Amino acid sequence: MKRVIQTLAAMAAVGIITGAAIVFGGLYNVSARAGHFPGVTWLLHTAYVNSVQFRAPAMADVPDLDADGMVALGARHFDGGCRVCHAAPGQDRWAVPTAMVPKPPHIQTAVAGWNVNELYWIVDEGVKMSGMPHWPADRTDDVWPVVAFLAQVPDMTQAEYDALTARPRISDDAPDDLAYCAMCHGVTGFSTNPQIPRLDIQPRRYLEQALQSYVNQTRDSGIMHVAASRVSPAALMELAEWYSRQPVVPSAMSSPADAELMAYGARLASAGTRDVPACTSCHGPKAGPQSADFPRLAGQSRIYLEQQLTLWRDGERGGGPRAELMQKAAHQLTEDKIKALSAWFSAQPAMNPEPNSSEDG
């Protein structure tokens, strides 16, 4: 028994010495040209697959990926943040990612064989030692639009992808970075995608605060963190000013819901309850000059309003000088209250956000 222990100890010592020589002596060749030793790639990929399958959320947690606007929003984020490595449907990868180790697979190969809950985990968490980053925010509900897009990728043509990610024409007097923002928000700030907020109804001061909160990451969004980081601070202020002075589309985004729900939403918005303060004094439709710090909600997308009120209630939303006030106001909102408020505000006529210069303070 003593001899066995001595043998094992000697083997362990040799292993430690060999490992130290490889790590500290530079014996291991980290060159991407050399690649991995035979079998290492298989071991790493097998560990990767099993790790994802073990940790992915349950399929019961997957939202409706066919909801209006989900695929388009995910495609536009993919185009700006992911296409550089994985290419797009119908496109070839450029030279740099094909020289990486491991090599980022073409997106139509990368999504093959994965369930949507597993794709969510990969996009959210990233993959160590592969160049695949984790989602750039703690709030992860905005990962799902990307997953909705990825679920459509296997059968997607280049023409379909190009249609999803097309950028609108921009006038010569527009800010230089407007083409990038307009891909989602439109040239005038009015987007027909209900997953994306309208900007044409917002005061300039609120837009400036919102963009700054994305830059300093006091307001979470993986999509907007990336977008705001691609534009200079000065350009962001130009974009806020541009969108605040665009003509407001007069129609509401959503059709009125049933009369009972609308009446409940109207009472909540204008009078509040013992636990939930009235919304209209700060958010309009008819609000005073001080409301330039608050988003206007009349005519905003119902789906977007539901998302944001849920985030406020659950403590996952911040940003702006009065974030604490809103967190307290939304803390007691139930699902029924959120649906009623969102339905009522979305059905109100959109109004000019800055009817007079006093809102500029």
Lowest-pLDDT range of 147-151, 183-187, 255-259: 255-259
Give the confidence band of 20 by pLDDT, cuts at 50, 70, 90: confident
Examine the domain organization and report whether 201 and 266 are in the same domain. no
The answer as to whether 124 is a domain residue is yes
Q: pLDDT at residue 359 above 50?
A: no
Of the three residues 104, 129, 163, the one that is the final residue of a domain is 163
Burial 145-174 (b: 16+ CB within 10 A, else e): bbbbbbbbbeebeeebbeebbeeeebeeee
Give the confidence band of 56 by pLDDT, cuts at 50, 70, 90: very high
Q: Each residue of 60-88: pLDDT tens digit?
A: 999 999 999 999 999 999 999 999 999 99
The answer as to whether 14 is a domain residue is no
Instruction: Find residue 132's DSSP bridge partners.
Output: 127
Residues 6+ positions from 296 with CB-CB distance below 8 Å: 201, 202, 203, 206, 283, 284, 285, 287, 350, 351, 353
Q: pLDDT at residue 240 above 90?
A: yes
Examine the domain organization and report whether 288 and 344 are in the same domain. yes
Q: Across 50-59, 208-217, 218-227, which has the greatest mean pLDDT?
A: 50-59
Query: Number of folded domains in the chain?
Result: 3
**Predicted local confidence at residue 361, as pLDDT:** 37
3-state secondary structure of 305: helix
**Predicted local confidence at residue 77, as pLDDT:** 95
Residues 6+ positions from 263 with CB-CB distance below 8 Å: none
- Position with higher pLDDT, 115 vs 101: 115
Backbone angles phi, psi at 317, to 5 degrees: -125, 135
Q: pTM here?
A: 0.87
Examine the domain organization and report whether 187 and 291 are in the same domain. no
CATH number at residue 202: 1.10.760.10
**Predicted local confidence at residue 257, as pLDDT:** 65
Give the confidence band of 251 by pLDDT, cuts at 50, 70, 90: low
**Predicted local confidence at residue 253, as pLDDT:** 54
Examine the domain organization and report whether 291 and 194 are in the same domain. no
The answer as to whether 98 is a domain residue is yes
The answer as to whether 171 is a domain residue is no
Give the confidence band of 112 by pLDDT, cuts at 50, 70, 90: very high
**Distance, first Cα to last Cα, the chain:** 85
Of the three residues 102, 134, 163, the one that is the final residue of a domain is 163
**Predicted local confidence at residue 360, as pLDDT:** 41
The answer as to whether 201 is a domain residue is yes
Of the three residues 139, 163, 187, the one that is the final residue of a domain is 163
**Predicted local confidence at residue 358, as pLDDT:** 39
Examine the domain organization and report whether 145 and 49 are in the same domain. yes
**Predicted local confidence at residue 357, as pLDDT:** 40
Question: What is the span of the domain harbouring residue 110?
Answer: 43-58+65-163
> What is the length of the chain?
361
Examine the domain organization and report whether 230 and 333 are in the same domain. no
**Predicted local confidence at residue 291, as pLDDT:** 72
Examine the domain organization and report whether 50 and 144 are in the same domain. yes
Q: Across 101-105, 143-147, 199-203, which has the greatest mean pLDDT?
A: 143-147
Q: Each residue of 289-306: pLDDT tens digit?
A: 557 888 999 999 999 999
**Predicted local confidence at residue 324, as pLDDT:** 84
Q: Which tokens is 90 given?
A: 């119908």
Examine the domain organization and report whether 301 and 354 are in the same domain. yes
